[in-house]
Amino acid sequence: MKPSAPQKITWIIGLICGILGILGHFAQIDFISEYSFVLLMVGFIALALGTTLKGI
């Protein structure tokens, strides 16, 4: 099993979700702070799946 680079859109979605999750943890933003852990987890899973599965 060889890791591959994720597609650009997958990488951007993972990055945005991760940044929003971190930002929501440290700053009080209504919707984002409520789901900061979920956003961070979605970003991590998107990047993990993007490198594990080919074509995502």
> For 2-56, what is each residue's pLDDT tens digit?
888 889 999 999 999 999 999 999 999 998 999 999 999 999 999 999 999 887 7
The model's pTM is: 0.85
pLDDT at 4: 86
Residue 54 is predicted with a pLDDT of 83
Delimit the domains of the chain by residue range.
8-52
Convert 21-43 to b/e letters by CB count within 10 Å (16 or more is b). beebeeeeeeebbeebeebbebb
Looking at 3-55, list the stretches that DSSP marks H as alpha helix, in order from N- to C-terminal side.
Answer: 8-26, 30-34, 36-52
Phi, psi dihedrals of residue 53, rounded to the nearest 5°: -100, 135
Question: 53 with 26: CB under 8 angstroms?
Answer: no
